[in-house]
Amino acid sequence: MSFISPMPSQQFLWDVFQRVDKDRSGAISADELQQALSNGTWTPFNPETVRLMIGMFDKKQTGTVSFEEFGALWKYVTDWENCFRSFDRDNSGNIDRNELKTALTNFGYRLSDQIIDMLIRKYDRAGHGTIYFDDFIQCCIVLYTLTSAFRRLDTDLDGVITIHYEQFLGMVFNLKI
């Protein structure tokens, strides 16, 4: 299953960039990006998800995304949208527990039902037992980041690591999540 979309033309990206860059500063702030994104629920895009995405594409560490960085960000959001829609089987605009489990299994995660339930509780901002698009992105980014950090220490690939408390704190606090 492919969720990858083709990169649009520079002109298309420039037109989108100019519409998002409300203050005409030549860079997109987290506030501007949050206003431009839609999770399909008439609620603002999760500011924490926006912060994570700005951090991923802000190569110069300015807290904003330049036009040069914007194309990759736009493609990233579009690919996530395609992914989300493919797992939102009932076209409800959100991911329920079973859809989340299917998505994560397709991504290669083998997680217990207890962990799936915990993820639903953690990322369900509306309290309906479902996850909106923006929270789905955040859930997947955090899960990927934590898994990558764990795998760096799981050198024998047995799914078990032994670390000291301060190693654990260092591992968690050094993550960009």
List pLDDT tens digits, range 50-83: 988 898 889 888 999 999 899 889 888 888 888 9
Residues 6+ apart with CB under 8 A from 167: none
CA–CA separation, 91 vs 82, rounded Å? Answer: 12
Residue 152 tokens read as 């760096």
43 compared with 118, residue with greater pLDDT: 118
All domains in the chain, ordered by first residue: 10-174 (1.10.238.10)
pLDDT > 90? residue 154: yes
Instruction: Tell me what pLDDT residue 32 has.
Output: 92
Mean predicted confidence (pLDDT) in 157-167: 93
Residue 45's pLDDT band, with cuts at 50, 70 and 90, is confident
Q: What are phi and psi of 88, to 5 degrees?
A: -80, 75
Instruction: Tell me what pLDDT residue 1 has.
Output: 55
Angle at 55 between CA 93 and CA 28, to 5 degrees: 80
Can you give the pTM of this predicted structure? 0.82
Residue 80 tokens read as 């996530």
Angle at 104 between CA 103 and CA 110, to 5 degrees: 140
pLDDT > 70? residue 2: no
Mean predicted confidence (pLDDT) in 32-39: 85
CA–CA separation, 99 vs 103, rounded Å? Answer: 6
The Cα diameter of the chain in Å comes to 52
Q: Give the chain as a 3 state SS string.
A: CCCCCCCCCHHHHHHHHHHHCCCCCCEECHHHHHHHCCCCCCCCCCHHHHHHHHHHHCCCCCCCEEHHHHHHHHHHHHHHHHHHHHHCCCCCCEEEHHHHHHHHHHCCCCCCHHHHHHHHHHHCCCCCCEEEHHHHHHHHHHHHHHHHHHHHHCCCCCCCCCCCHHHHHHHHHCCCC
Beta-bridged to residue 94, according to DSSP, are 132
